[in-house]
Structure 1
Amino acid sequence: MYFLIFLIAAVLAGFYFYYKSRPETAKIFPAEWEGLLQEHVRFYRNLPKEKQPEFRKRILQFLGETYIDGVETEITDLDKLLIACSAVIPVFGFTEWHYFNLTGVLLYPDYFDEDMQFADTDKDRNIGGLVGSGRFERKMILSRRALRQGFDNTTDKSNTGIHEFVHLIDKMDGSTDGIPEDLLGHQYVIPWVNLMHKSMEEINDDESDIRKYGGTSQAEFFAVVSEYFFERPDLLKNKHPELFEMLQSCFYPKA
């Protein structure tokens, strides 16, 4: 327990020194990364060829602005790419986006518990990611297992990395409340809130295929339905056309 707290503190200190002397964003996308994207990221594979260079550019931008470090695990190229893709996918519809409320990502090897422990088998370890607060403000913690499962399973409508970055997007207006004011036009706020409450009632009444976690709060609903939108857009459009149209306007305002 104390060792892990010390280790996390040391990593956070590393964030500070990194930001004092971080290098410029890399200009060249490594050739071997293209194969990793094609193999693991369906969103990228499905992009028109002419948009893929912009996606790669946005990955480099994110990695140049955000520190990623492992807690008792080494960071691989695939880890970096999947974290960056989780960040880029929800905001790819915007010409420019910076996560000003994020300085770094901590990657754990496995799921963790509320005390951020992952090695104690007597604990209930079921958390795959979270956006930090308090001493972890402007940090994100992700489980490598959850991160990779989110991209490898393309049928379950879930993606932990996207989920947590949607929370960050929601939080950018100062409140994590499921109402992303930075994305929604003013005229859409009340319709979105009404649609959100209606959909949450359907979830809690077992009348929806949206993951049950989405019925626990407005913030979790927005994150869960956003996972659905990016993982299974055709299915969401078919089963929940109003939600699809609202999220389409939210994430692709110029579409």
Structure 2
Amino acid sequence: MRTAPSPIPSIAWAGLILGAGLASGLVGLFAGLWGSLTVLAAAALIVSILAWRSAGRWRVRRAALAAPFPEAWRDVLRQWCDHYNRLPDDLQSRFEDDVRIFLAEKPITGVGVEVIDELRLLVSASAVTLSLGWPAYDWEHLNEILLYPDDFDRDYEFGEDDLSGEAHPWGTVILSVPALCQSFRDPDDAYHVGFHEFAHLLDLEQTHFDGIPLGFDDTA
């Protein structure tokens, strides 16, 4: 079972403090007291912002993992998610924890669609299936998931069959609900719209897709 990580690891605090001290010392050599004070003030502000963001995420995750995984949610995963059913018990438990964290952190918005728990679970299961093997991966680049009532064209008009999903470099993923449900309904189909669109974000580097997930580029 996952546990909510501490807000900022001790080694990170040590690195931030050491970096601020070194920067202040270097500036002091060239710019005197006021330069050092300015650097220290800027460093303190940056550390405060990082601590605030990290503590907020820690609280969200701790709350998400505080209660047992809902049995109704587990029934949905058993009914729809072939990958979940094939996992051993320990990985099923981690899958459930990752689903709860994903749902706590990532907004899922319906566009002409009522976002019921079943749909939220199918969305999160699509992402978690890809990231389960990378425990430290947090979907940092993902900001929002939009659910559409049908396939759409490149002008985002419904009823056309050009697209059943789309991932944007700025962190928005669009999924057609009928296509998403069909992807889970037929696990032997070679195309799964949820896996496909979330996989784009795995290889997102800054503002473009390069086709190679982070950590798998030999030149990195």
TM-score over 0.5 (shorter chain): yes
Q: Could you tell me how far apart the structure 2 residues matched to 1:178 and 1:40 are? A: 28
Deviation of 1:174 after TM superposition, in Å, equals: 4.5
Deviation of 1:76 after TM superposition, in Å, equals: 1.1
Residue 170 of structure 1 pairs with residue 206 of structure 2: no
Q: Could you tell me how far apart the structure 1 residues matched to 2:218 and 2:189 are? A: 32
Q: Could you tell me how far apart the structure 2 residues matched to 1:89 and 1:163 are? A: 11
Deviation of 1:173 after TM superposition, in Å, equals: 5.4
Alignment partner of 1:61: what SS?
A: helix
Residue 99 of structure 1 pairs with residue 145 of structure 2: no
Instruction: Kindly report which structure 2 residues correspond to 1:1-255, keeping only aligned pairs within 5 A, or say none.
Output: 24-25=60-61, 26-27=64-65, 28=67, 29-118=69-158, 124-132=160-168, 137-172=170-205, 174-180=207-213, 182-184=214-216, 186=218
TM-score where L is the length of structure 2: 0.67
| RMSD over equivalenced CA pairs, Å | 2.1
Deviation of 1:84 after TM superposition, in Å, equals: 0.4
Which residue is 1:11 aligned to? none
Q: Could you tell me how far apart the structure 1 residues matched to 2:217 and 2:155 are? A: 38
Gaps of 5+ in 1: 1-20, 190-255
Gaps of 5+ in 2: 1-55
Letter in 1 for 2:199: V
Deviation of 1:50 after TM superposition, in Å, equals: 2.0
Q: Deviations over 1:205-244 (max 9, x none)?
A: xxxxxxxxxxxxxxxxxxxxxxxxxxxxxxxxxxxxxxxx
Q: Could you tell me how far apart the structure 1 residues matched to 2:105 and 2:72 are? A: 21
Could you say if the C-alpha distance between residues 33 and 117 of structure 1 is closer, same or farther in structure 2, counting changes exceeding 3 Å?
same
Could you say if the C-alpha distance between residues 183 and 90 of structure 1 is closer, same or farther in structure 2, counting changes exceeding 3 Å?
farther
Letter in 1 for 2:92: Q
Share of identical aligned residues, percent? Answer: 34
Tell me if the contact between 1:101 and 1:172 (Cα under 8 Å) persists in the aligned partners.
Answer: no
Deviation of 1:185 after TM superposition, in Å, equals: 5.2
TM-score where L is the length of structure 1: 0.58
Q: Rg larger in 1 or in 2?
A: 2
Letter in 2 for 1:50: D
